[in-house]
Amino acid sequence: MTNVAVQQSIQTLLNQQVANLNVLYVKLHSYHWFVKGPMFFQLHEKFEELYNEITLKMDDVAERLLTIGGKPHSTLKQYLEHTTIQESTGNENAEQMVKQLVADLKQLVSEFEQAMEAAEEANDEATGDVFLGMKADFEKHVWMFEAYLG
């Protein structure tokens, strides 16, 4: 693969995560607004904490993309065209929300691993580091939510 092709591949991977993180951000807001039940207070607060964290991560990914000459997706249409995760239906119960969030986070961790491999092949340590940090954070969230589910 040529250097230009490698760079475009890295930009595509970064842009996919811009889309994913934006869809996850909206999904977490939906969960925050619509969660009900005995765990309302804990989950309502946790979903808010996560969407605030996702805001910072999506910005980091988009800025890394800009740094290497890319152009981040920036419209809802683009996010939905390029995301690999599903939107919230708005009808999930609290347990379904947590289970779906665990599945989404696991999927993103897997995609981050693939992106880290591509970044390593491209000798792009900075991009790899962006994904490594997010991977570690999301793995911790998976562990916590799985503990919550029992």
Q: What is the pLDDT of residue 2?
A: 66
How much is the pTM? 0.94
Report domain extents, the chain.
Answer: 3-149
d(CA 118, CA 114): 6
Q: What is the pLDDT of residue 6?
A: 72
**Could you read off the pLDDT of 79-97 as tens digits, one per residue?**
999 999 999 999 999 999 9
Domain 3-149 has CATH 1.20.1260.10: yes
